[in-house]
């Protein structure tokens, strides 16, 4: 059996060019003990993958040039040499960016039995959802009644952050760009604020209008002018959870820091970055809280779906152009 997979031909500087991603084919060997073969149905592309294209080891190893890339995926076990998994099991794993994955069963997990679409475990009930929950609750220690600001609020992570904060009784402000994204946030009961055609001061003024009593929690996904604008509106003792800074991921040279970082001192605020993998022992707690809300329809989540394995690089690159509302997914098979 053959597997088609994407690989990188070189590490990019700046926004990756489409030509750096090549689709290759390999003949799969016989299964070794403890291996499984999975026909992928859904692939995840996520902003953190840009860091793995740098050639440098950060909190995760870089992609290896010429080797199959990796990412979250949902698929069906079609062969197994592991007693824990059997043919027909629907599983989640990290053998993405390919149609057939032959990998160690150690990192393969059968999906929980819940009345939700299987691809939800790549989005609202997967790593992005867990990231939202972790940053809001464990890092920012969000409390009922807080004024909560979220950047990239219509994305896979941000859109769950705003809804979890609303469920706590918080006043929530969401930063987004496109008009349809702002309209969706407003339908969720969020105060929408656009960053389009605004500098840091103009964005700060808009945040103040949306939340005259200041900001207690800022969930950071963007950086740049969003961070600078947020710093000016912090209340005393504010908490900032830094999930990511997508504004810098494709920068070709270091960007200047916020000009008003001193507000962290003046407001006696706390800013903490986090990696969700360090908190994965809380995943069952997250599922117990959020799954019933998703099943009941109390959580509104959106997906942007691209069709076919060949579209995977394009889906990834669109993340940096605001091309997704909610979770960006690639549907590989029916």
Residue 148 and residue 77 in one domain: no
Residue 272 and residue 141 in one domain: yes
Using the predicted structure, report yes or no on whether residue 334 has a pLDDT greater than 80. Answer: no
Residue 134 and residue 231 in one domain: yes
CATH number at residue 319: 3.90.180.10
Residue 148 and residue 250 in one domain: yes
Provide the mean pLDDT of the chain: 96
- Tell me: the pLDDT tens digits for 200-211? 999 999 999 999
- Tell me: the pLDDT tens digits for 52-67? 999 888 888 899 999 9
Residue 270 and residue 131 in one domain: yes
11 pLDDT band, cuts 50/70/90, is very high
Within a domain: residue 283? no
250 or 204, which is more confident: 204
Element (H or E) spanning 194, and its range? Answer: strand 191-194
What average pLDDT does this structure show over 243-262? 89
CATH number at residue 183: 3.40.50.720
Residue 154 and residue 76 in one domain: no
- Tell me: the pLDDT tens digits for 61-100? 899 999 999 999 999 999 999 999 999 999 999 999 999 9
What average pLDDT does this structure show over 310-333? 95
What average pLDDT does this structure show over 264-282? 97
Residues of the chain above pLDDT 90, percent: 93
Q: Distances in Å between the alpha carbon of 303 and those of 44, 96, 324? A: 11, 18, 8
Q: CB-side exposure of 233: number of CA atoms within 13 Å?
A: 30
Residue 132 and residue 241 in one domain: yes
Residue 171 and residue 99 in one domain: no
Residues of the chain above pLDDT 70, percent: 100
Query: Which stretches within the chain are classed as H helix?
Result: 127-133, 158-167, 179-187, 200-210, 225-231, 263-266, 283-296, 312-318
Within a domain: residue 293? no
Within a domain: residue 285? no
| pLDDT at residue 294, rounded to an integer | 97
A 10 A CB-CB count for 16 gives: 20
Within a domain: residue 292? no
Residue 100 and residue 53 in one domain: yes
Query: Which stretches within 238-282 are classed as H helix?
Result: 263-266
Within a domain: residue 289? no
| pLDDT at residue 162, rounded to an integer | 98
Residue 94 and residue 136 in one domain: no
Residue 269 and residue 135 in one domain: yes
On whether the CB atoms of residues 271 and 264 are closer than 8 A, the answer is yes
- Domain containing 312 equals 2-123+302-331
Strand pairing of 90-93 and 73-80?
Answer: antiparallel
* pTM higher than 0.85: yes
On whether the CB atoms of residues 219 and 245 are closer than 8 A, the answer is no
Residue 197 and residue 271 in one domain: yes
A 10 A CB-CB count for 112 gives: 12
Q: Count of domains in the chain?
A: 2
Q: Distances in Å between the alpha carbon of 265 and those of 54, 112, 116, 201, 255? A: 33, 45, 45, 20, 22
Within a domain: residue 296? no
């Amino acid at each position: 059996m053959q597997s088609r997979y994407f690989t990188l031909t070189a590490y990019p500087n700046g926004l990756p060019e489409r030509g750096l991603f090549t689709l290759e084919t390999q003949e799969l060997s016989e299964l070794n003990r403890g291996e499984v073969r999975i026909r992928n149905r859904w692939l995840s592309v996520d902003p953190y993958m840009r860091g793995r294209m740098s050639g440098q080891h950060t909190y995760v190893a870089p992609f290896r040039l010429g080797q199959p890339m990796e990412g979250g995926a949902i698929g069906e076990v079609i062969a197994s040499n592991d007693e824990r998994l059997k043919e027909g099991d629907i599983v989640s794993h990290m053998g993405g960016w390919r149609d057939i994955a032959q990998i160690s069963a150690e990192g393969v997990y059968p999906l929980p039995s819940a009345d939700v679409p299987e691809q939800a475990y790549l989005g609202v009930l997967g790593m992005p959802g867990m990231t939202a929950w972790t940053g809001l609750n464990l890092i920012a220690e969000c409390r009922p009644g807080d004024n909560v600001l979220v950047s990239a609020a219509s994305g896979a992570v941000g859109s769950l952050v705003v809804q979890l904060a609303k469920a706590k009784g918080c006043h929530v402000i969401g930063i987004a760009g496109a008009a349809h994204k702002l309209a969706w946030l407003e339908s969720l009961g969020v105060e929408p604020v656009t960053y389009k055609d605004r500098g840091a001061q103009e964005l700060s003024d808009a945040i103040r209008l949306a939340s005259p009593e200041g900001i207690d929690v800022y969930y950071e996904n963007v950086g740049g002018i969003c961070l600078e604008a947020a710093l000016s509106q912090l209340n005393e003792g504010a908490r900032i959870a830094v999930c990511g800074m997508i504004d810098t991921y494709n920068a070709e040279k270091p960007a200047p820091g916020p000009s008003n970082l001193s507000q962290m001192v003046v407001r006696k605020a706390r800013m903490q970055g986090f990696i969700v993998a360090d908190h994965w022992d809380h995943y069952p707690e997250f599922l117990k809280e959020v799954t019933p809300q998703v099943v009941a329809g109390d959580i509104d989540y959106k997906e942007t779906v691209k069709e076919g394995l060949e579209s995977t690089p394009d889906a990834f690159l669109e993340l940096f152009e605001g091309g997704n509302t909610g979770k960006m997914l690639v549907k590989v098979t029916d």
